Amino acid sequence: MPATPSKSMTYKESGVDIEAGDLMVEMIKPLVERTRGPRVMGGIGGFAGMFRLDYNERLFKHNYSEPVLVGCTDGVGTKLKVAFAMEKVDSVGIDLVAMNVNDLICCGAEPLFFLDYLAVGKLEPGRMTDIVRGIVDGCVQAGCALLGGETAEMPDLYEPAEFDMAGFSVGVVERKRIIDGSTVEPGDVVIAIASDGLHSNGYGLARRVLLDKMGYSPDDCPPELEGTSVGAELLRPTRIYVKPVLDVLHQYSVKKVIKAMAHITGGGLPGNLPRVLPEGLTVRVQRDSWTVPPIFRLIAAKGPVDPIEMTRVFNMGVGFVMVVAPAFAQSIMSRLRRHGERCWILGKVRKGSDELIWA
């Protein structure tokens, strides 16, 4: 007969602190409120979030004739290991939103809401609030609501200071305004919009070169980075392109001059730009049309990493591309620049295989 335990065991003793989770929810409520517009229904803390697709009130009319819902999910990858090492976790929340909403807009969709999933080794309310603060900042930049989320404390799977994160974004696009690349033709112009560095891809290689092989600390400032520290460069948030891109789409809501768009993530230009082109078409990319940012030149030199490998792994300074009708390229770039974007003509569409032509 089993012995009667002298003391009742608790969930907290096993590593899961319910009270800490409740405290975290209270701490993040004011942050989440920043993202909630008139189409969000219900309060914070329910079993699910609700969002009105149509909103008839005169001041906020935002209806759709043939709405198509668009969804995507993504994470931040091993960029988190840099955040752990630097004990700076607020900016990776921006990355999480960016990796989702930048994908979402490629088909012309407007991001509506975002949800997050955090899996942590130890739930520390203050630290978790910093993470959510970054997610909120990203949602504000993208103009979408943080509709809900989940934080799971799993000490058996993660070290106390570690966590993983995933995001889920839902948007909407009018059926007749879907951008799928089907109308791209030879002579169309490819506009590049600059990245803010590594964004959230290629960190396995970047960390191996800079931190493991070269032994740089986060505070080191190699001359190649022109005054920026290694840590600051590695944690620079992913740029969110939602508002400038949607502004361009709204400006040309009748004429379909934006024919395809691509978010340049893992796989770089060779792995992402051909995905949005019809079969039998390629792009002649002008190598000298932009200057590769210092962080990529540093990784290539210190690896050393072959130039072809660099373009397959990293964005190389191009964060987003738009394939547009040539007559509208300059006006589109002027509009993007008014939003503070750095952009240029990357190349032109021509007949060919699915591999890019580098000129």
Enter the tokens of residue 279. 């079969």
260, 184 Cβ separation under 8 angstroms: yes
| Cβ neighbours of 295 (radius 10 Å) | 24
Buried b (16+ CB within 10 A) or exposed e, 312-330: bbbbbbbbbbbbbbeebbe
Is the separation of the CB atoms in 60 and 77 below 8 Å? no
* Type of residue at 20: A
* Cα distance between residue 80 and residue 64, in whole Å: 38
Which DSSP letter does residue 209 get? I
Q: Which single residue is written with the structure tokens 């899996």?
A: 119
Whole-number pLDDT of residue 59? 56
Tell me which residue of 115, 179, 103 sits closest to 144, measured CA to CA.
115
Sequence-distant (6+) residues with CB within 8 A of 70 are 104, 107, 109, 170, 171, 172, 173
Per-residue pLDDT at 6: 64
- Bond from prior residue into 5 cis (ω within 30 degrees of 0): no
SS3 of residue 158 by DSSP = coil
How far apart CA 34 and CA 56 sit, in angstroms, is: 22
| CB distance 170 to 107 below 8 Å | no
Q: Give the separation between CA 310 and CA 317, rounded to whole angstroms.
A: 11
* H/E stretch holding 282: strand 281-285
The SS3 of residue 101 is helix
CA 351 to chain centre: 31
Question: Which domains does the chain carry?
Answer: 14-177 (3.30.1330.10), 189-358 (3.90.650.10)
C-alpha dist (Å) from residue 230 to 72, 95, 227, 237, 333: 31, 18, 10, 14, 31
Instruction: Answer yes or no: are the C-beta atoms of 339 and 248 closer than 8 Å.
Output: no
Q: Secondary structure of the chain: what % helix, strand, coil (to 5)?
A: 40, 20, 40
Q: Amino acid identity of 81?
A: K
What is the per-residue pLDDT for 12? 74
Distance CA 314, CA 296 (A): 8
Q: What is the pLDDT of residue 354?
A: 79
Q: What is the pLDDT of residue 2?
A: 59
In whole angstroms, give the CA distance from residue 256 to residue 254: 6
What the block records as the tokens of 186 is 């030879």
Q: What pLDDT score was predicted for residue 18?
A: 75
* pLDDT at 254 (0 to 100): 85
Q: How far apart are CA 190 and CA 347, in angstroms?
A: 5
204, 161 contact by CB (below 8 A) = no
Residue-level pLDDT, tens digit, the chain, 359 residues: 555 556 777 767 667 777 877 788 788 888 888 888 888 888 777 788 898 887 666 655 677 889 999 999 999 999 999 999 999 999 999 999 999 999 999 999 999 999 999 999 999 989 999 999 999 999 999 999 999 999 999 998 999 989 999 999 999 999 999 999 999 999 999 999 999 999 999 999 999 999 999 999 999 999 999 999 999 999 999 999 999 999 999 999 888 999 999 999 999 999 999 999 999 999 999 999 999 999 999 999 999 999 999 999 999 999 999 999 999 999 999 999 999 999 999 999 999 987 899 98
Q: Could you count the other beta carbons within 10 Å of the beta carbon of residue 18?
A: 12
CA distance 214 to 313: 19
